[in-house]
Amino acid sequence: MNLELYKKQALQKQKEHKKFLDGLKKKPPKNLDYVVQETHEKVFEKVDCLQCANCCKTTGPLYTEKDIERISKHLKMKQADFEAKFLRVDEDNDKVLQNLPCFFLNNDNTCSIYEVRPKACREYPHTDRKKIYQINNLMIQNTVICPAAFEFVESMMKNVNK
């Protein structure tokens, strides 16, 4: 998987993608949620996250209090110790990883805490959510990081305009 090529293509197509997504927001088709789900499933039949893991290498998820509670319990750590060891508070006052790539990313691109991973990781790249147009800016950002998000927007452009 050529991540540089995906990133280059995503940056070149940002204006086109933004225009398409903004159009969905202005006038969403009646069957949009269905098309989104169908497109998401088709994209993930082709894209294997374990071949990439770029999200885990380059972007850190936001950790909610529930995430911290669940993960620290799984690791048999006190929450305060978990936070001190792995997290920091960012400029938006969110709890995020101190360092990248993610500490929990294994050499084979699997996740050592997959069963209890943060909500943000479970939902990424957000290509299967209802009312997809509510996250247009996030989707544009994700196309630069995630080949599946790029393929999703490209496929949506074909599928919606049928």
Q: Taking the C-alpha atoms of 53, 6, 40 and 24 in order, what is their torsion angle to the nearest 10 degrees?
A: 130
d(CA 53, CA 132): 23
pLDDT band at 160 (very low <50, low <70, confident <90, very high): confident
Tokens describing residue 8: 């280059």
Listed residue (145, 56, 135) closest to 156, CA to CA:
135
pLDDT band at 162 (very low <50, low <70, confident <90, very high): low
CA atoms 100, 106, 108, 114: torsion sign: negative
Tokens describing residue 63: 């950790």
Listed residue (88, 69, 87, 90) closest to 79, CA to CA:
69
Inter-residue contact 60 to 96 (CB < 8 Å): yes
Tens digits of residue pLDDT in 30-57: 999 999 999 999 999 999 999 999 999 9
* Cβ neighbours around 161 below 10 Å, total: 9
pTM: 0.92
